[in-house]
Chain A
Amino acid sequence: MKPLPALFLLSFLFSCSAVRETEGALPSGMIFQLASPQCRVDSVLFVNSALLSLELDYPDVAIRYTDNGEDVSLNSRLYTGPIRVSTSGAIHARAFHPDFLPSEIVSRQVRKISAAALNASVAVHPEPHSSYPGNGPRSLVDLQKGSAAFRNGNYWMGFQADTVDISLSLDTEKPVGLVTLSVLEDNASWIFLPRSAEVFVDGKLVGRKDWPASTSPGTSALQFLEIPVAGTTGSTIQVRVANWPSIPDWHPGKGTPPWFFIDELLIN
């Protein structure tokens, strides 16, 4: 699998990829399209490995997939059973059938993480909104990933605040090389990416990242926002997330504070 790019687009159920290949080879007049395969992962964030399964329970369907970032075509590998994944990366899959147009591509990212923060104590300020409290501050390091259906389960913390401070106290001093925010972007639900984030280790600023303002509606996506940190060691890690003051002018919610949604804070 390819190494992770800085910004991950995690389109859990459906990607927006257009149907491109194979149409020339299909009988003319075909208009119905297969639905995307269902994709399930036992743990999107894993320490050792994850098991990924694909399914579209319809007669004569073949599911094909890639793990190198390429589009899925009739020449891609045939799915025959659950896939064991032990490195960070993405699986792209698509369903094919002799009588129907191929499905859209479904993509699923998985991410290998270190166990550094699993036992950390966590403080969050301000408190998340009462409608999206997650499962308490510790749920930011429990490796339990939320889905794009953000109202389901207690995975996501939602904020409407200028800044959000997340502090981790590790049980011992540990090296810190990369901090990753696992966030949701869903502009249609007024949930936006933050403007910037700063990382402090033992009180010292060691990393900062800025992200561009959203310029178009886009689709719902789970994202990993990476903040590289100059190699350092410490036992307290503070992440200060700065949000945009208001929703941009192109959006129906313009002028009001955007939502910021986070379900995990990953330390490598």
Chain B
Amino acid sequence: MRNGAVVLSGFGAGLNALDSWARYKDVVIGHNSHRYKIDLNWGALNAQFYPVKDCHEMVQDSKGRIVLLTNHTKNNVLIYSRSGQLLEVWGTEFPGAHGLTLNVEGGEDFLYITDNNRHEVIKTTIDGKVVMVLPFPQVSGKYDSPDQYIPTETAIAENGDIYVADGYGLQYLLHYNARGELLNVFGGKGQGEASFDNAHGICIDDRDPENPCLLITDRMRNKLKRFTLDGKYLSTINLPGAFICRPVIHRKNVYLATIWSGEGGEGTGFISILDEQDQLISAPGGITPRYEDGELKPMYQALKIFHHPHDVCVDDEDNLYVAQWNSGQTYPIKLYRV
């Protein structure tokens, strides 16, 4: 593994030499208003007791706790304090645990988990009690069999409507009401602007409360696409060289784990942060973002800090937690805003 030093250090909380610890903690990554110090050992656990495979996604709950979803069925959900102390684990029934979205409904936190292997979306309470399952959407008429449907992400609208991105399947976006009744299907695999090549992530962009809309990643094409809530294509944000996983809205910014960069080589990830004008303003681990004639110059990795970032969680103190796919079964990396 190319960045073996980094991956290994992610395993061994407290095993690094002190000078090493001090040295890398001085490194500041990112650009402009969004710069960070790095904690490689945040959340590192004894893998014999609390193993992870891919760390797919993370969210912060209403109590301020950090919730991590992994596809290891010994403990699919690990709940940490912000400082990285393990508080609780649950979940053994999600072999393809991939997408994790938190929604507050009637004052209570609920989680929406997409499972690649089960070909369904599972809604649970914050402590793991299943309250609803959205099965493979046969009713849509788009699918012949469950294995064509490999959901990767969900987004929940203000009214409780559920959007599911079938990012590893036929690339449709499925729009349900809060009771799980299918209302609309749009997107799909294809070449057009309203079509996708890996519709991996989706979120509700409610930064303008009068005009909420959807942001959906077109990962293999390095694009972030904006749609209306009823599935009409609006516009595209080009992020050449950035293979973006899912958009996460925090305050006025969009954060996107970028799993590969450049020509898409292994181990080339970084983090992308957009401002309100959809401009890439900071790329922790990547090169300095530069625009020429309004177009972003192709991005690529500058420092081998991340291997394959798959999601970024932004906490209430504006610090980041980066969950990684296929990165030596390492635990998340925390970035402290400076």
| Chain A residues near B (Cβ < 8 Å) | 13-14, 27-35, 38, 56-59, 61, 99-101, 104, 147-149, 152
Contact = CB atoms under 8 A, between A and B. Distances in A.
B268 interface: yes
B335 to A, nearest CB: 13
B15 interface: no
B32 to A, nearest CB: 14
Given A13-B263, A14-B2, A58-B288, A38 B303 contact: no
Chain A interface mostly helix, strand, loop or mixed?
loop
B245 to A, nearest CB: 19
Contact of A31 (B5, B264, B301): B5
22 contacts: A13-B262, A13-B265, A14-B2, A28-B19, A29-B17, A29-B19, A29-B20, A31-B23, A32-B6, A32-B27, A33-B5, A35-B300, A35-B302, A35-B304, A56-B302, A57-B287, A57-B302, A58-B302, A59-B288, A100-B303, A149-B263, A152-B263
Residue of B17, B265, B290 with most chain A CB atoms under a 10 A cut-off: B265
Chain B interface mostly helix, strand, loop or mixed?
loop
B131 interface: no
A147 B265 CA distance: 11
A28 B23 CA distance: 9
A149 B261 CA distance: 12
Nearest to B304: A33
B11 to A, nearest CB: 13
Contact of B303 (A14, A33, A148): A33
Interface in B1-25: 2-3, 5-6, 9, 17, 19-24
B304 A34 contact: yes
A148 B264 CA distance: 10
B23 A27 contact: yes
Given A29-B17, A32-B27, 15 more contacts: A13-B262, A14-B2, A29-B20, A31-B9, A31-B20, A31-B24, A32-B24, A32-B305, A33-B303, A35-B302, A57-B290, A57-B302, A61-B302, A101-B5, A148-B263
Interface in B287-330: 287-288, 290, 300-305
B6 A38 contact: no
A147 B301 CA distance: 19
Given A13-B263, A147-B263, A29 B304 contact: no
Give the 8 A-B CB pairs with smallest separation, nearest first: A29-B23, A29-B20, A57-B287, A29-B19, A58-B302, A35-B301, A33-B304, A13-B265
Contacts of B304: 32-35
Contacts of A104: 2
B23 A58 contact: no
A264 to B, nearest CB: 19
Contacts of B287: 56-58
A17 to B, nearest CB: 11
